A = this chain, B = another copy of it.
Amino acid sequence: MRGKILIESLEQLGEEELLKRLQRFMPIGQTKDDTAQINSYQKNLLVNTDVLVEGVHFSKATLSAEHVGWKSITTNISDLACSGVDQILGVTVGMIAPPSTQWSWVEGVYRGMDKALNQFGGELIGGDCSTGSEKVLAITAIGTLGKLRLHRSNALEGDYLLTSGPHGLSRLGLALLLQDSQIDDKQLTEELKEKAITTHQKPTPPLEALRALETSKPKKLPWRAAGTDSSDGLLAAIQSICNSSQCQAVLDPDNLPKDPSWPLGELWDKWCINGGEDYELIVSLPPSWAEAFLENFPYGQKIGFIKSGPPQIIWNNGEKLNKSIFDEFKHF
């Protein structure tokens, strides 16, 4: 008798399970970071691929073609930065677009990419394009590895947990662009609104934070720090460090990384810790290194510390984290 064949859709599987299954096909050691490393004789290279789909990752309601191009490059470079890139070498672009797509859109996308590459380094070195029913950009960026290879799995008990900047701005920018009725306009300064929209449409990869991190290392310490970017939100980034490093993160709810003019309230806390698309560097490193970094980098902030225990995030006041706040960024 033949066994029953179970047919599972990706919807049934869920994203986490899908990624877990795909890891079976990857060599050990390459699976815990967004960025792949190639040992290329004298210099190691970092390689990162992202796919961006219209309606999932971008929409014309909130991003111009030029924003899409800029963001496709800078969010990719953000992953490289949070792995320890030294110099961006090149980028390949796979583009899919329906036949009815206007050239002006394509030109705008490439103009945005060009501007981002001019600002952060690297050049367009190749690509491919094809027709398809929806717009897709598949970006692969390659850079050289600097002194500090950041891995999610490098956190140790006693480390401080730092961020390179405030969180939630991109989520607020999205809400403003969509005229979200949850926002009470009176709570917001014009400066904050402008900053939020810029952060959403034209994010900056945390390369300066990485440079400051490198120059801040006390000489006697080894080049060991854990890191990732907060593209899926602050808590998701910290949870991924906990999972990979098999440790706990203790956060201070009164010291979340917020913009100075960020309003008070539950919605605002939620957007800060789980808004997503923040592209800040999240690092776990020894206290003396952390303190030197905070002195050198004014936007840096301590948000907690690492202790041993089964992987999870806890508040330092003993309260448990509400699991529902993790639900926002599922792709399947």
Chain B residue nearest to A30 in the complex (CB): B125
- Number of A residues with CB within 8 Å of any CB on chain B: 73
Stretch of A2-10, A173-181, A187-195 contacting B (4+ beta carbons < 8 Å): A2-10
Pairwise interchain contact B96-A13, C-beta atoms closer than 8 A: no
Q: Roughly how many angstroms separate A103 CA and B42 CA in the complex, as a whole number?
A: 40
A104 at the A/B interface (Cβ < 8 Å)? yes
A218 at the A/B interface (Cβ < 8 Å)? no
Pairwise interchain contact B51-A128, C-beta atoms closer than 8 A: yes
A36 at the A/B interface (Cβ < 8 Å)? yes
Tell me the number of copies of this protein: 2
Q: Roughly how many angstroms separate A332 CA and B95 CA in the complex, as a whole number?
A: 13
Q: Roughly how many angstroms separate A318 CA and B96 CA in the complex, as a whole number?
A: 41
Pairwise interchain contact B35-A126, C-beta atoms closer than 8 A: yes
Query: Can you give 28 A-B contacts (C-beta < 8 A)?
Result: A9-B101, A10-B106, A11-B99, A18-B106, A25-B111, A25-B113, A27-B124, A34-B126, A38-B90, A40-B41, A41-B42, A47-B92, A47-B140, A48-B92, A49-B140, A50-B94, A51-B94, A51-B95, A51-B138, A53-B132, A56-B131, A56-B132, A92-B140, A131-B332, A132-B136, A133-B134, A136-B138, A140-B140
Q: Which A residues are closer than 8 A to B by beta carbons? A: 7-11, 13, 18-19, 21-22, 25-27, 30, 34-38, 40-43, 45, 47-53, 56-57, 89-90, 92-104, 106-107, 110-111, 113-114, 123-134, 136, 138, 140, 142, 144, 331-332
Sort A-B residue pairs by CB-CB distance and give the 9 closest, nearest first. A138-B138, A36-B126, A36-B125, A11-B99, A51-B94, A49-B92, A140-B140, A94-B138, A41-B42
